[in-house]
Amino acid sequence: MGHPAPGVLKHISIKLYVGSSCLHRVYYIAWNEAYREENYDSYSE
C-alpha cells in the first residue's frame, strides 16, 4: 500500500520532463532576447 502504479509514476515523470523542457525553451528564448538587446545597445553606441 502507498505505492503508485508504475503507469502513474511514468505519466508523472513524462509530465515533469515535458514541463521542464518547455520551461527550458522559454527561458532560453527569453535569455537570448535579453542578450541580443544588450549587444544591440552596445553596438549602437
Q: Which are the contacts of 12, defined by CB distance < 8 A and separation ≥ 6?
A: 4
Per-residue pLDDT band for 29 (boundaries 50, 70, 90) equals very high
Task: Over range 7-23, report the average pLDDT.
Answer: 89
- What is the value of pTM for the model shown? 0.45
Using CA atoms, how far apart are residues 41 and 34, in angstroms rounded to an integer? 11
**Structure confidence at residue 44 (pLDDT):** 57
CA 10 to chain centre: 20
**Structure confidence at residue 40 (pLDDT):** 67
What DSSP assignment string belongs to 1-45? --PPPHHHHHHHHHHHHHHHHHHHHHHHHHHHHHHHHHHHHHHH-
